[in-house]
Amino acid sequence: MMRAFAQHLAVLRAVLRRMFVSKLAGFLNILVIGIALSLPAGMYLLLQNAQGLVVQLSGTPQISLFLSMDAKTEDVDRLQKQLVQHPAVAGVEFVARAQALEQLKQSTGLSDLISGLEQNPLPDAFIVHPKPGDAQSLDALRGELAKLPRVSEAQLDSAWAYKLEALLKFGRMGVLILASLLSLALVAVTFNTIRLQILTQRDEIEVAKLIGATDGFIRRPFLYFGATQGLLGGIMAWLIVTASLLLLNGQLGALAQLYASQFTLHPLSFGDSLSLLLFSVYLGWLGAWLSVARHLSQIEPR
Amino acid sequence: MISFNQVHKRYPGGYEALKGVSFDIAEGEMVFLTGHSGAGKSTLLKLIAAIERPNSGSVLLNNQNVGVLKGGALPYLRRNLGIIFQDHKLLFDRNVFDNVLLPLQICGFDHRESGKRVRAALDKVGLLKREKSNPIALSGGEQQRLCIARAIVNRPSILLADEPTGNLDAAYAREIMAIFNSFHQVGATLLISTHDESVLQDSGVRRLTLKEGVLQ
């Protein structure tokens, strides 16, 4: 057991030495793989963040009912009863116009401007929490509520979120296509690297076969090479994505401040990072395996 | 130990290298295989190591029919053989020590044990002091001895040598033959192909002579 482990370790050491015989060439290979993987990984990360934003903003869709300015207290009470009894409504909040003005002052920092107003321009409003449903049923509910007496306007706050969701789906498909193509490219790069290695080590392979090496023994260093190169490429991709994110967040911080928001991009989660690395190891291994299967059988000692 | 029975070998293109060759070599025997170049000596040795397969007849090694062995079994067959190649087949990307180490790595020997064995093999052929050299820096005779060290490091019971003294002067050739004699004395089975008359004059060693693919 220990002996087998030590042998595998020795193969790995030899592989690493070989990979960096030419430091520049080894590094460039890893860079190419890293860039190829960082594109889909980076796009995935941006989509994840956008997704997070959507969930955060539209976790529970709401319908805002703005009452006409001449609504009286009795009207409000009657409306509230009607809404509470409505089968598609889960909850109702009343926001009095004075309260709404106060919130506006606090949240936007426009208190000076608002204090200068002669009268409160805001109407009374209800915030209706509908029971969960799809975009269409929510829209129907919005139309129905808009027709209630003394309601001047009904807004489905999450309408844009549904559109964004659809857009994200589109984006995810794009990432999937890009990732598939670039994965294929990675497999091809590894395939070719290994092919060249097999050609340059033709003598060694031939001699090894002549003195009793099994196919497994001959295959092993090439498979390890592919997997190791994949792993280093994956690490490179992770570094590229993370560094880009830090650069973007620096700029985003300034931008978000202008909008009085604190939005920042989240880095790749631990699970996603691990997936990225495992996937790149797998692709490297696959490329090497295909190459070895294709080329090793062509070398028979004479 | 080695037994040929009516072995024919025809290469693609129609060239008949061996025609109905039959012989037996007993365990611990040392045999010379002689004949002009092109007589089929190399082909005969390749059949034993299953580098080539016979078209008909059987090649038995320890009562195992080598000619019909599956690809997966070949490595284990070859580990019992020490083969000394006419063209040495040394690897110039590593030093003398690592060249001899290769068969032990292939068999999965423990690191410390293999170091001892490599040095013992190098000592036997008189190359212990050159272990750090690149084989390209060795003379023809030294390269031949290195090839022998690699063939014996695994302590095989059978040694096959293809023209081991081919391009060497008489003094070197005698050295090499002395090394083979010492293996013979400790019980190894040897089959040595040669057309070197100076070597053949030596002793009463059994001879197999090939002429145009037929055993004389």
Span A233-268, pLDDT tens digits: 999 999 999 999 999 888 888 887 777 666 778 888
> Is 60 exceeded by the pLDDT of residue A58?
no
Closest CA to A41 of A228, A239, A184: A239
Which of A7, A211, A302 should we substitute to test contact with B (largest number of B Cβ atoms within 10 Å)?
Answer: A211
DSSP state of A138: H
Contacts of B76 in chain A (CB under 8 A): 212
Compute the distance between CA of residue A67 and CA of residue A258 in angstroms, rounded to an integer.
32
> H/E element holding A268?
none
Q: State the nearest Cα–Cα gap between B85 and chain A, in angstroms.
A: 10
Compute the distance between CA of residue A81 and CA of residue A85 in angstroms, rounded to an integer.
6
Mean pLDDT (chain B) is 87
Q: Give the pLDDT of residue A81.
A: 85
Q: What is the ipTM of this complex?
A: 0.87
Contacts of A204 in chain B (CB under 8 A): 91, 93
Cβ contacts from A onto B, under 8 A: 54
Closest CA to A108 of A259, A247, A213, A222: A259
With contact defined as beta carbons under 8 Å apart, do A256 and A262 qualify?
A: yes
Contacts of B83 in chain A (CB under 8 A): 210-211
Residue in chain A nearest B42 by alpha carbon: A302
Contacts of B81 in chain A (CB under 8 A): 212
A202-225 mean pLDDT? 90
CB contact under 8 A, B75 and A204: no
Residue with tokens 């040595």: B192
Q: Give the pLDDT of residue A3.
A: 67
pTM: 0.75
Contacts of A206 in chain B (CB under 8 A): 89
For A26-124, strand residue ranges (E) read 63-67, 89-95
Question: How far does chain B reach from its first CA to its final CA, in angstroms?
Answer: 21
Compute the distance between CA of residue A257 and CA of residue A276 in angstroms, rounded to an integer.
32
Cα A115 from chain centre: 43
Which of B84, B86, B89, B94 should we substitute to test contact with A (largest number of A Cβ atoms within 10 Å)?
Answer: B89
User: What secondary structure does DSSP assign to A146-169, as a single string?
Assistant: HTSTTEEEEEETTHHHHHHHHHHH
Q: How confident is the model at residue A59 (pLDDT cuts 50, 70, 90)?
A: low
Under CATH, to which class is A60-157 assigned?
Answer: alpha beta
> What whole-number percentage of chain A has pLDDT above 70?
92
With contact defined as beta carbons under 8 Å apart, do B214 and B20 qualify?
A: yes
Q: Give the pLDDT of residue B100.
A: 93
Residue B205 burial (10 A CB sphere; 0-12, 13-18, 19+): middle
Q: State the nearest Cα–Cα gap between B79 and chain A, in angstroms.
A: 5
Q: Going edge to edge, which strands form the sheet with B206-211?
A: B81-84, B158-162, B189-193, B30-34, B206-211, B214-215
> What whole-number percentage of chain B has pLDDT above 70?
98
Q: pLDDT for A152-211, tens place per residue?
A: 888 877 667 677 778 888 988 999 999 999 999 999 999 999 999 899 888 889 999 998
* A7/B contact by beta carbon, under 8 A: yes
Compute the distance between CA of residue A282 and CA of residue A227 in angstroms, rounded to an integer.
7
Backbone phi, psi, residue A263, to 5°:
-75, 125
For A163-267, strand residue ranges (E) read none
Q: State the nearest Cα–Cα gap between B152 and chain A, in angstroms.
A: 11
Letter for the amino acid at A160?
W
For B38-178, strand residue ranges (E) read 56-61, 64-65, 81-84, 158-162
> Domain segments of chain A: what residues?
2-57+162-298, 60-157
A53-66 mean pLDDT? 72
Contacts of B49 in chain A (CB under 8 A): 210
Cα B98 from chain centre: 20
Q: State the nearest Cα–Cα gap between B162 and chain A, in angstroms.
A: 13
Q: How confident is the model at residue B111 (pLDDT cuts 50, 70, 90)?
A: confident
* A1/B contact by beta carbon, under 8 A: no
Q: Give the pLDDT of residue A194.
A: 92
* A211/B contact by beta carbon, under 8 A: yes
Residue in chain A nearest B89 by alpha carbon: A207
SS3 label, residue B27: coil
Structure tokens at A27: 């590094």
> Is 80 exceeded by the pLDDT of residue A108?
no
With contact defined as beta carbons under 8 Å apart, do B86 and B42 qualify?
A: yes
Residue with tokens 């037994």: B3
* A3/B contact by beta carbon, under 8 A: yes
Letter for the amino acid at B52?
E
